[in-house]
């Protein structure tokens, strides 16, 4: 077990991501699909008081992002949180974290793709067929973008994030003249206790601060660029989430709780005419950015887990700095398509997939923050941030409730794989016939 004073891991040269591209990847990973559907769901749960839930999670994001950025800068490795768990607690805990994150990405990405598909269906019609085809097309496009390599991924993410910022800020700015203070009353129609359930819903919106740690070694200077990227992303994501959530409630009023496409409604109010196509385009951009960041991080993680023996070794190819882990990427993509096929055959929506991913991400947060307390310096601002993050994650665990059953099952499977692998390695080799020299020496 490594003590906090252990030397930092030094990445091999060759990283290409800049702080600006890293900020774009963070924004894509965290902003994601939360802004598409959750303002309406949170408003339905807590009314205008849901704004306090949004604010609380924005505040919580700052120490979480700081802690994971500090870990990534100090130990830049494709294993991300799995590497930190191994250094702090050993191989078994690392395997549990790695499996939880790796197996959370396919259902989470599929849920995100289906959210975007719903916006497309609202714009052009076609029902379930349009929704499913849109989701499948997004998943295929993200797989192709990541297979092209991280340089393409970083540049593409930077362009998408810039376009996304313009769209969201324009929608908010143009619709705010129609905001009404009476739409904020009563502020807590379902009671103040409803803020907790609203915050539990919004956890999905703020998962992602750990995702870019898997790409830490791909930065030109992780110790400098990663904290800058995280800080910039916290500000951008916080401003966007609070602005959109406030505009949805203040402009749409009671109708916000029942809006199937709240962002589309907001754009229609601010820009006039039928804004469904524009809202669908924004939803597709948001979803592509989220899936792009998660596929990149998960592919690198799978390669690192294959390298370290936590997953089959054939996944480890392409995990070095500058390489493309196409085998791991193919596994992530295949599991995502399997998730899509499952929910389509079961005639259900994306909610079960969201629940599976949410519990796993909170578990990863908990173990990652605990590792930070062992690995990072015991004094200073980052130590205080880790302690605050620990309290925040404990609250998220309490709110997750039964959603934790999935990561518990994944953890059991990871430990069983480790045990079976250990037995296989410990099994003695068959005895071979003695050579003439060995026979003479033992005779």
Q: What is the pLDDT of residues 169-213, one digit of tens each?
A: 877 888 888 888 888 888 888 888 888 888 877 877 777 777 677
Token duo for residue 334: 């295949």
With beta carbons less than 8 A apart as the criterion, state whether 316 and 330 touch. Answer: no
DSSP for 156-209 reads HHHHHHHHHHHHHHHHHHHHGGG--GGGG-SS-TT-GGGHHHHHHHHHHHHTTT
Main-chain dihedrals φ then ψ at residue 24, nearest 5 degrees: -65, -40
- Size (the chain), residues: 443
DSSP code, position 327: H
How far apart (Å, rounded) are the C-alpha atoms in residues 47 and 42? 7
Please enumerate in sequence order all residues whose Cβ is within 8 A of that of 166, keeping only pairs 6 or more positions apart, or say none.
none
- State pLDDT tens for residues 9-40: 444 444 677 788 778 777 777 776 777 777 87
What whole-number distance in Å separates Cα of residue 126 and Cα of residue 258?
22
Phi, psi of 276 (to 5 degrees): -65, -40
Q: How many CA atoms lie within 13 A of 63 on its CB side?
A: 22
Ranked by mean pLDDT, which of 130-144, 251-265, 411-425 comes out on top? Answer: 130-144
pLDDT class of 434 with cuts at 50, 70, 90? very low
CA distances from 43 to 85, 252, 262 (A): 37, 11, 11
| Superfamily in which the 23-420 domain is placed by CATH | Amino acid/polyamine transporter I (1.20.1740.10)
Give CA–CA dist 361/108, Å, rounded: 10
Beta bridge pairs of residue 219: 17
**Helix, strand and coil in the chain, % to nearest 5:** 80, 0, 20
Is the pLDDT confidence value at 118 over 90?
Answer: no
CA distance 390 to 210: 14
């Amino acid at each position: 077990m490594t003590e906090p004073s252990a030397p930092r891991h030094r990445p091999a040269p060759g990283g290409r991501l800049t702080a600006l591209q890293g900020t774009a990847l963070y924004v894509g990973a965290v902003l994601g699909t939360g802004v598409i559907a959750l303002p309406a769901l949170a408003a339905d749960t807590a009314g205008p008081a849901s704004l306090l839930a949004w604010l609380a999670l924005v505040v919580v994001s700052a120490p979480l992002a700081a802690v994971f950025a500090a870990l990534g800068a100090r130990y830049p490795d494709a294993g991300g949180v799995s590497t930190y768990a191994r250094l702090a607690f050993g191989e078994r805990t690392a395997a549990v974290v790695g499996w939880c994150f790796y197996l959370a990405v396919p259902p989470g990405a599929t849920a995100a793709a289906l959210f975007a598909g719903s916006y497309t269906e609202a714009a052009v019609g076609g029902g379930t067929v349009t929704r499913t085809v849109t989701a499948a097309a997004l998943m295929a496009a993200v797989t192709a973008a990541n297979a092209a390599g991280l340089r393409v991924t970083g540049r593409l993410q930077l362009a998408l994030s810039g376009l996304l910022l313009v769209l969201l800020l324009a929608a908010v700015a143009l619709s705010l003249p129609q905001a009404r203070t009476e739409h904020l009353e009563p502020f807590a129609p379902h009671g103040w206790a409803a803020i907790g359930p609203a915050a539990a819903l919004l956890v999905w919106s703020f998962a992602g601060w750990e995702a870019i740690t898997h790409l830490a070694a791909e930065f030109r200077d992780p110790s400098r660029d990663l904290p800058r990227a995280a800080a910039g992303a916290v500000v951008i994501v916080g401003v966007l989430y609070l602005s959109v959530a406030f505009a949805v409630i203040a402009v749409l009023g009671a109708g916000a709780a029942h809006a199937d496409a709240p962002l589309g409604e907001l754009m229609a109010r601010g820009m006039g005419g039928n804004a469904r196509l524009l809202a669908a385009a924004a939803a597709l951009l948001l979803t592509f950015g989220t899936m792009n960041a998660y596929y990149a991080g998960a592919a690198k993680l799978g390669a690192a887990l294959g390298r370290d023996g936590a997953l089959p070794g054939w996944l480890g190819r392409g995990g070095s700095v500058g390489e493309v882990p196409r085998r791991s990427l193919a596994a992530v993509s295949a599991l995502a398509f399997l998730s899509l096929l499952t929910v389509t055959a079961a005639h259900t929506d994306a909610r079960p997939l969201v629940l599976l991913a949410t519990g796993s991400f909170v578990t990863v947060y908990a173990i990652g923050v605990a590792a930070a307390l062992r690995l990072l310096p015991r004094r200073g601002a980052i130590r205080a941030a880790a302690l605050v993050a620990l309290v925040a994650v404990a609250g998220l665990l309490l709110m997750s409730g039964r959603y934790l059953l999935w990561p518990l099952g994944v953890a059991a499977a990871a430990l069983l794989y480790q045990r079976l692998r250990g037995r296989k390695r410990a099994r003695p080799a068959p005895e071979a016939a003695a050579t003439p020299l060995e026979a003479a020496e033992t005779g």
